[in-house]
Amino acid sequence: MCTCEKGFQAADCSQRTCPFGLAHVDIPKGDLDFSNTISDANSLKVLSSTVFPYGTTEGFPRMVDSAGNIIPESAHEVAECSAKGICDRITGMCQCMPGYEGAACQRASCPDESNMDAEAIKSFNSKVGGLLAQKGDSSAAKDVRSLGTSVQTPFPVPCSGHGTCRTIQELAFLDHENLYTLWDKDSTMGCYCDSGYSGPACADRMCPYGIDPLYTDDATVRVSQQTIRFKTSDSNVLSGVYSLVFYDVFGEDYRTRALNLSPTGVFNSINHCDEVVEALKSLPNGVVQDVGCSQVAFNTNFGFRYTLTFTKNPGKLKEVKVDQYIDGSRPTIGVASGTYTVTVHTKVNGEFVDYFPDRCDGLRIKILADSANADDSWTAATVRPGSLGYISGVNAPLTSAEQRILKACLGDSDWDPNNNIEVANWDTGAVVEASGITPDQFYMLGAFPHAIKVVPVETTAGYDKFKYGELHLVYYDPTATNKEFRVANLNNGYNLPSEAIESYLYTTKGTVQQLGYGIDSEISDNSASGASSTRIVGYFSKGENKIFTNYDTSCENNPSAGQKNHKCVEKGDLLFIIDGCWAPGDLTAGSINPIFGGTEVYNCADSTVVNYNTGNLYTVTKIHRREYDAASDRLGPTNTIDVSVDPTLKRYVNYNVIEVDANLGWDGLMGDPENSNTAQDDTTWSDNTGIVTLFHFTPSKVNSFEYVSQCSNRGLCNPTDGVCRCFRGYTGNDCSVQSVLAK
């Protein structure tokens, strides 16, 4: 009996063994020991064979976990030619099935715009038929040879020459550095297309994006507004040069020439905004045809910030990048003394889709801060975290008739029409909280608040179609007389109707849910001074896109029962991250279980210090847990820290991370570790976490409107040449211009 060398088999060792790889599809080997039964993964057969020296199984493969336990009904064991090819026993090389490649057929082929020609297909089938004939299976050989051109073959040029072929693990990493670690991380392949190309094979050219001209008849457009900030610690020390990297709607990057810096934002009598605008409009291909710019200096020569408004680049744009290393590894920005910081954040997120398309007919409103006009101090009776302002009529409080209209427009907020109230058939969006032994009850932002968009009326001074709609979260407080419709976030500090902007109000059929954690399914009432529902809160830094939350909010790690997220978060989800002047909690006299948020307004002494323009919708790009570090509180968000005993004990829950698609323009504050001598903090949730409450938004599938699209919804994109074929009456390279002469 022959004992074959490695790589050979058969009775006389004359046949070659082909390479092995993880099986794309496992194939049961059948009754190997002729026992008339198929054994399970616990039973190994054909031990000491040439191909399987340690044996194999007849049905499911024998696979074990890290503890050595057998995993029943598992898959993707190693197999010759990865179970997607036929081994040529003469050469020991795998003849891969169409769509697979590699020495062991271990990976899928990337597609191309066209298949191989018929002769190549016939050639492949002939090879496979020949191998089957060598095995003596003449019938199968005949069948394969007769397939002709019906079998698809591997594609000749991956990704049509307009992209690169990457593993699924690489594609995940290229998408905001996400991780993919499943069995096929190195075998499933896909095309990573060059900018301006799309489709599975990167064969389709994309057409110019534009704004639907009919959309702006009764609504305004949210285009990207991005703020770049240069701040120094000392006065009159900033100098140097940098360049801006601009990304168009397809993701292509363009770099400006060097831009000069000065402490005031004026260099050689030229405002920095003017220099930036000229540089952006000089980029190749006219990629930035027009851009607005406004600039503000910090104190006295401590730097400046400027905001760019991309009116001719609609849609959601990636944030610009400040390159301060244009000479290589040496920074080209400097200060004569002290330090400097450079940040970029999104003031207004551009959008493709309007989730708030329904105008509340018969109603015009104003958004007011709930503060005194004399000194901007808060109205103590009605202002609390997430309740900073209110909806007013144009010249006076909303009338009863206007309130009825608004209630009907707001409608349902929680997916459940059965719990709606009143003739208006609506939800209040509120929750009742209480504190004290003799509880004081008050209304706060609830589990399912309403979301609205307010758009200036056409007669507003300086009105144009780019006067973007402001997004607000709203709930109803019946105890706030003449101010019942409470607004959680503000875009300005106007507290008189004569100051504020007259606006239309738009609503959504989408659903906002305040993120929470516990055994319940949503934030619930706490009307008897018990323990409040636990909210998901976070903290973050200005100019960053990472939010550190108190609990792991990912759907992947969300338990099916017990303590869990009320609404888990996945990549691609939408979040409201607003400044509601969130508070760390309040240990009021006699309170057994401090209420969430408390009655104080944290870090907002009055309405002038609120972070405005926080009504943005952010898209989750990544959600993960990071490694612990020296600042991590490994005991979790319920741990109580008393820094009055030892200040070095200060730790935070800094390992649950949500990343979003734009940098935030304000600091989301941390809670204060408990100081038993002075603090009035809730010792159950904010000692070691952030205090910013997060809200999940689920868009409606029936009344969202995509108004920024290829060819502006007024033409068809030809994927061959990337040119719009405009409908009659529309013209322009993106079909966004109406014309009676256009055919």
Same domain, 335 and 270: yes
Closest to 247 (Cα-Cα) out of 316, 326, 332? 316
Question: What is the percent of the chain with per-residue pLDDT over 90, rounded to a whole number?
Answer: 68
Query: Is residue 277 situated within a structural domain?
Result: yes
- What pLDDT digit, counting tens, does each position of 23-36 carry? 999 888 888 888 89
Query: Is residue 454 situated within a structural domain?
Result: no
Domains held by the chain: number: 3
Please state the rounded mean pLDDT for residues 45-74. Answer: 82
Same domain, 47 and 80: yes
pLDDT level of residue 136 (50, 70, 90 thresholds): low
Residue 200: the pLDDT is: 93
Same domain, 274 and 143: no
Same domain, 40 and 146: yes
Residue 149: the pLDDT is: 43
Same domain, 268 and 341: yes
Same domain, 178 and 265: no
Query: Tokens in use for 635?
Result: 């005991």
pLDDT level of residue 72 (50, 70, 90 thresholds): confident
- What pLDDT digit, counting tens, does each position of 454-466 carry? 999 998 888 888 9
Query: Is residue 530 situated within a structural domain?
Result: no
Same domain, 18 and 153: yes
Between 34 and 488, residue with greater pLDDT:
488
- Boundary (domain end) residue, out of 127, 143, 160: 160
Same domain, 259 and 324: yes
Residue 217: the pLDDT is: 76
Query: Is residue 319 situated within a structural domain?
Result: yes
> What is the distance between the alpha carbons of residues 693 and 598, in angstroms, rounded to a whole number?
13
Residue 154: the pLDDT is: 47
Residue 590: the pLDDT is: 43
Residue 153: the pLDDT is: 46
Same domain, 259 and 194: no
Residue 490: the pLDDT is: 96
Residue 682: the pLDDT is: 45
Give the domain extent around 169.
161-205
Instruction: Give the Å distances, CA to CA, from 83 to 6, 24, 29, 79, 143.
Output: 20, 6, 12, 6, 20
- In 3-state terms, what secondary structure has residue 122? helix
Same domain, 229 and 146: no
For the ranges 362-366, 467-471, 572-576, 596-600, which has the lowest average pLDDT?
596-600
Please state the rounded mean pLDDT for residues 539-568. Answer: 94
pLDDT at 674 over 60: no
Same domain, 312 and 186: no
> What is the distance between the alpha carbons of residues 559 and 555, in angstroms, rounded to a whole number?
8
Long-range CB contact pairs, 477-480, < 8 A, 24+: 477/382, 477/387, 477/430, 477/442, 477/443, 478/443, 479/382, 479/442, 479/443, 480/381, 480/382, 480/390, 480/443
The answer to whether the beta carbons of residues 230 and 263 sit under 8 Å apart is no
- What pLDDT digit, counting tens, does each position of 376-407 carry? 999 988 998 999 999 999 999 999 999 999 99
- What pLDDT digit, counting tens, does each position of 558-606 carry? 988 889 999 999 999 999 999 999 987 654 444 455 566 666 677 788 9
Same domain, 254 and 330: yes
Backbone angles phi, psi at 106, to 5 degrees: -80, -10
- Boundary (domain end) residue, out of 299, 333, 351: 351
Query: Is residue 75 situated within a structural domain?
Result: yes
pLDDT level of residue 320 (50, 70, 90 thresholds): very high
Query: Is residue 601 situated within a structural domain?
Result: no
Residue 454: the pLDDT is: 96
Query: Is residue 190 situated within a structural domain?
Result: yes
* DSSP code for 480: S
Query: Is residue 245 situated within a structural domain?
Result: yes
pLDDT level of residue 618 (50, 70, 90 thresholds): very high
Query: Tokens in use for 566?
Result: 């009320």
Question: What is the percent of the chain with per-residue pLDDT over 70, rounded to a whole number?
Answer: 89
- Boundary (domain end) residue, out of 310, 326, 351: 351
